[in-house]
C-alpha cells in the first residue's frame, strides 16, 4: 500500500512538473511575439537612392545592380562630365532611357572651372547660369537640382536649409521667383560603406534611428552616394546588402526625388526625351 502511495505521489509530481514546463514553453512564444511587434517595420518610410557626379566608368555596373534590385533611383548629372567624351555621353543617354531611373541637374561645371566652392557660391548669378547651362545639356531634370558640395534644401515649405555661403543664391532664387527645387540629403554612403559591410550595418542603424524619430517629415529619407564609389565587386555587393535590409526589415518604398512631399516638379527627370 505504501509503495502504491509513493508511486502515486511521484506520478503527481512528474505531471505537475511537466505542466509547469508546458506552461513555460507556451509563454515563450508570447514574449518573442511582443519583441517582433515592437520591432515591426514602419511601412511609411519613403527612401530615395541618389547618385551624384555621373556619368562615370563605374555607372554601367551600378545601374546593372539597381536594375537587378528593381529599385527606383535618381541620378544627379554633371553636364561637363557628359560632354567629357563620346563614351560618357553614350552612358548618359543609355541611363536616361531606363524607365527605373530619373536624371536631374547637378550643374554643368560642378564648380570645377571656378576653383573652390566658396568662390563659386560668392557669385550666385553665375551659379544660376551654371544650373541653366546644365539644363540645356541634359535636356531633362525639370526644376530639380542638387548643388555641388553643399547639403542645401529648398523644397516648398517643407524643407529649407542653407548656410551663409549659399544664402545669396537662395535670395536670388526667391527674388527672381525661380521655382527651382534644391535637394540635399539625410545620410551619405561614403567610401567606408563601399569597402566594409560593418559600416553598412552602421548606416542601416542610422537610417533605422531616423525612421523611428517622432518626426513625420523624416519619413522621407534621402541617401547621397556617388557613381564612382561602385568600382569593386565588394562595393556592389554591399549596396545589394543595404537595399536588401531596407526592403526586408524596414519595408521601405523606393522613390524618385520628384515624388517627394513638397516638391512642385515641372517636367521632372522624365525619360525618353
Ligand atoms: Zn557632386
Domain boundaries, the chain: 46-259
Instruction: Quote the pLDDT of residue 115.
Output: 57
Q: Tell how far CA 90 is from the center of its chain.
A: 26
Instruction: Quote the pLDDT of residue 150.
Output: 93
* Interval 180-223: pLDDT, tens: 999 999 999 999 999 999 999 999 999 999 888 766 555 899 99
**Residue 129: which of 153, 149, 145, 151 has the closest Cα?**
145
CA distances from 133 to 2, 70, 84 (A): 103, 32, 15
Ligand 1 midpoint to CA 101 (Å):
18
Higher pLDDT, 126 or 36: 126
Ligand 1 midpoint to CA 251 (Å):
29
Residue 5: band (very low, low, confident or very high) from pLDDT cuts 50, 70, 90: very low
The rounded mean pLDDT for the chain is: 84
Residue 117: band (very low, low, confident or very high) from pLDDT cuts 50, 70, 90: confident
Would the pLDDT of 259 be above 80? yes
Instruction: Quote the pLDDT of residue 264.
Output: 77
Ligand 1 midpoint to CA 180 (Å):
18
Ligand 1 ion: residues within 5 Å (CB)? 52-53, 148
Cα(235)–Cα(230) distance, integer angstroms:
5
| Residue 76 in grid coordinates | 544627379
Q: Which residues pair with 50 in a beta bridge?
A: 74, 224
The pTM of the full predicted model, rounded to 2 decimals, is 0.81
**Residue 73: which of 103, 39, 118, 116 has the closest Cα?**
103
Q: What percentage of the chain has pLDDT greater than the value 90?
A: 66
Cα(152)–Cα(148) distance, integer angstroms:
9
Range with the lowest mean pLDDT among 97-106, 117-126, 195-204, 223-232?
A: 117-126
Residue 100: band (very low, low, confident or very high) from pLDDT cuts 50, 70, 90: very high
Would the pLDDT of 158 be above 70? yes
Ligand 1 midpoint to CA 109 (Å):
10
Residue 238: band (very low, low, confident or very high) from pLDDT cuts 50, 70, 90: very high
Task: Give the CATH fold of the 46-259 domain.
Answer: TIM Barrel (3.20.20)
Ligand 1 midpoint to CA 110 (Å):
6
Residue 224: band (very low, low, confident or very high) from pLDDT cuts 50, 70, 90: very high
Would the pLDDT of 21 be above 60? no
- Measure the CA dihedral 204/208/211/215, to 10°: -120
SS3 253: strand
Range with the lowest mean pLDDT among 160-169, 176-185, 198-207, 257-266?
A: 257-266
Rounded mean pLDDT, 221-247: 97
Instruction: Quote the pLDDT of residue 37.
Output: 41
Instruction: Quote the pLDDT of residue 141.
Output: 80
Residue 10: band (very low, low, confident or very high) from pLDDT cuts 50, 70, 90: very low
Q: Which residues pair with 161 in a beta bridge?
A: 153
Biggest distance spanned by C-alpha atoms of the chain: 107
Ligand 1 midpoint to CA 52 (Å):
5
Cell 546593372, residue located: 64
Ligand 1 midpoint to CA 76 (Å):
8
Amino acid at each position: 500500500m505504501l509503495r502504491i502511495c509513493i508511486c502515486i505521489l511521484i506520478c503527481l509530481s512528474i505531471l505537475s512538473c511537466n505542466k509547469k514546463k508546458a506552461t513555460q514553453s507556451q509563454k515563450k512564444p508570447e514574449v518573442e511575439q511582443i519583441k517582433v511587434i515592437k520591432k515591426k517595420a514602419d511601412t511609411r518610410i519613403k527612401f530615395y537612392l541618389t547618385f551624384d557626379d555621373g556619368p562615370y566608368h563605374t555607372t554601367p555596373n551600378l545601374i546593372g545592380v539597381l536594375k537587378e534590385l528593381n529599385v527606383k533611383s535618381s541620378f544627379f548629372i554633371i553636364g561637363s562630365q557628359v560632354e567629357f567624351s563620346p563614351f560618357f555621353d553614350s552612358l548618359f543617354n543609355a541611363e536616361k532611357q531606363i524607365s527605373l531611373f530619373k536624371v536631374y541637374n547637378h550643374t554643368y561645371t560642378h564648380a570645377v572651372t571656378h576653383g573652390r566652392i566658396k568662390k563659386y557660391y560668392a557669385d550666385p548669378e553665375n551659379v544660376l547660369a551654371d544650373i541653366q547651362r546644365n539644363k540645356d545639356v541634359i535636356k531633362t531634370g525639370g526644376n530639380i537640382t542638387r548643388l555641388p558640395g553643399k547639403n542645401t534644401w529648398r523644397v516648398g515649405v517643407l524643407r529649407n536649409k542653407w548656410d551663409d555661403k549659399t544664402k545669396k543664391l537662395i535670395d536670388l532664387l526667391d527674388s527672381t521667383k525661380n521655382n527651382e527645387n534644391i535637394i540635399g540629403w539625410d545620410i551619405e554612403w561614403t567610401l567606408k560603406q563601399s569597402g566594409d559591410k560593418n559600416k553598412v550595418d552602421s548606416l542601416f542603424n542610422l537610417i533605422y534611428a531616423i525612421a523611428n524619430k517622432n518626426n513625420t517629415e523624416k519619413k522621407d529619407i534621402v541617401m547621397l552616394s556617388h557613381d564612382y564609389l561602385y568600382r569593386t565587386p565588394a562595393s556592389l555587393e554591399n549596396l545589394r546588402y543595404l537595399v536588401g535590409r531596407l526592403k526586408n526589415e524596414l519595408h521601405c518604398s523606393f522613390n524618385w526625388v520628384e515624388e517627394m512631399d513638397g516638391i512642385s516638379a515641372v517636367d521632372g527627370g522624365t525619360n525618353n526625351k
